[in-house]
């Protein structure tokens, strides 16, 4: 889950996973930062707002505010890059924790990726907030009270080939022909049989996904399908429906933007799915809306992207 970053912002990778994290070994040299601010998120905040927490590497976190909008930051003079993935994971988790705490303190934040750094002091951050005010104000208004939720449906007891043969006339015909054919013909028919099995399983999976999306659309502002093979996750927290185990096939993964008041209704929909024999559901959230954060733009000449 991550927001698109404005020009002049330095980023590492998606805060949700570390599978593709770039490390110092991937770069011949790292960018120099004389006076920077590591950016966690943007929230509604008054000039005197504070957030009592520590950030990545134990750095003290502050709120830099301008006209009712605050950036949660800490001072930094370099990016966070390491060949030690355990260290990177610690940084990622701490980044996420700060964003979560900001959300609890100020309401739904606009979150940024891990290693997002402004080449600026506090005054430069305020200037950036002024430049992006219209976009940030609109996004904060639209996202107020809304959070991101993730859904994964896993089939732990897949439908058998025999059951599919009973349901599909074409598959039943192929099965009968295989039994009555010679070796060469049977080989070709078996390939067609396997292809038909794949088609039926794919259609079944797509039908379940479409139906679930339609039901969730009634309670969510946006619903999007994700790749069925996820990257590593920062959290194993589960709420709502039953937890999916590691065995079985993932039928679908969805991400939702929904108001916090609709969380119970979403959970009820997923409970209905989880009650189906052979299916389990993993429901995580609420998360800051990484997937649904706005795309920001800018031409800050004092900042560059550290990773390209």
Residues of the chain with pLDDT under 70: 1-32, 230-246, 297-308
SS3 171: helix
Task: Tell me if 152 is assigned to some domain.
Answer: no
pLDDT for 107 equals 96
SS3 108: coil
**Distances from the Cα of 305 to the Cα of 31, 77, 104, 120, 218, angstroms:** 9, 14, 30, 13, 39
Q: Which two tokens stand for residue 34?
A: 């004389």
CB-based contacts of 133, cutoff 8 Å, min separation 6:
66, 67, 69
pLDDT for 98 equals 97
Task: Tell me if 45 is assigned to some domain.
Answer: yes
Nearest alpha-carbon partner for 119 in 59, 77, 81, 91? 77
Question: How far, in Å, CA of 143 to CA of 43, rounded?
Answer: 11
* Contact status, residue 102 vs residue 41, Cβ threshold 8 Å: yes
Q: Which two tokens stand for residue 74?
A: 């800490």
Task: Tell me if 237 is assigned to some domain.
Answer: no
Nearest alpha-carbon partner for 293 in 97, 64, 18, 42? 42
* Contact status, residue 294 vs residue 110, Cβ threshold 8 Å: yes
Task: Tell me if 67 is assigned to some domain.
Answer: yes
- What is the reported pTM? 0.74
Q: How many domains does the chain have?
A: 1
Question: How far, in Å, CA of 302 to CA of 284, rounded?
Answer: 38
pLDDT for 27 equals 44
Residue 101, H or E segment: helix 85-106
Task: Tell me if 269 is assigned to some domain.
Answer: no
Task: Tell me if 74 is assigned to some domain.
Answer: yes
Task: Tell me if 112 is assigned to some domain.
Answer: yes
Question: How far, in Å, CA of 240 to CA of 270, rounded?
Answer: 8
* Contact status, residue 211 vs residue 250, Cβ threshold 8 Å: no
Task: Tell me if 47 is assigned to some domain.
Answer: yes
Question: How far, in Å, CA of 158 to CA of 248, rounded?
Answer: 8
Instruction: Give me the domain span that covers residue 65.
Output: 9-144
């Amino acid at each position: 889950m991550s927001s698109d970053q404005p020009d002049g912002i330095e980023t590492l990778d998606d805060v949700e996973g570390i599978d593709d994290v770039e490390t110092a070994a991937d770069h011949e040299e790292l960018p120099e930062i004389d006076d920077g601010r590591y950016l966690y998120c943007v929230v509604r905040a008054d000039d005197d707002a504070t957030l009592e927490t520590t950030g990545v590497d134990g750095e003290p976190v502050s709120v830099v505010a301008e006209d009712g909008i605050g950036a949660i930051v800490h001072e930094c003079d370099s990016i966070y890059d390491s060949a030690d993935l355990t260290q990177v994971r610690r940084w990622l988790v701490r980044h996420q924790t700060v964003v979560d705490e900001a959300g609890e303190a100020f309401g739904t934040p606009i979150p940024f990726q891990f290693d997002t750094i402004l080449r600026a002091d506090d005054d430069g951050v305020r200037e950036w907030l002024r430049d992006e005010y219209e976009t940030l104000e609109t996004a904060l208004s639209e996202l107020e009270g809304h959070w991101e939720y993730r859904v994964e449906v896993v089939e732990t007891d897949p439908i058998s080939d025999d059951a599919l043969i009973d349901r599909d006339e074409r598959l039943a015909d192929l099965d009968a022909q295989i039994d009555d054919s010679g070796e060469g013909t049977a080989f070709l028919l078996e390939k067609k049989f396997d292809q038909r099995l794949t088609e039926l399983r794919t259609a079944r999976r797509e039908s379940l996904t479409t139906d679930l999306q339609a039901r969730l659309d009634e309670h969510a502002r946006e619903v999007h399908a994700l790749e069925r093979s996820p990257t590593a996750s920062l959290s194993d927290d589960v709420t709502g429906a039953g937890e999916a185990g590691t065995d079985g096939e993932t039928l679908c993964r969805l991400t939702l933007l929904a108001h916090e008041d609709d969380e119970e209704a979403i959970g009820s929909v997923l409970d209905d799915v989880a009650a189906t024999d052979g299916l389990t559901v993993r429901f995580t959230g609420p998360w800051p809306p990484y997937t649904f954060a706005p795309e920001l733009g800018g031409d800050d000449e004092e900042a560059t992207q550290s990773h390209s």
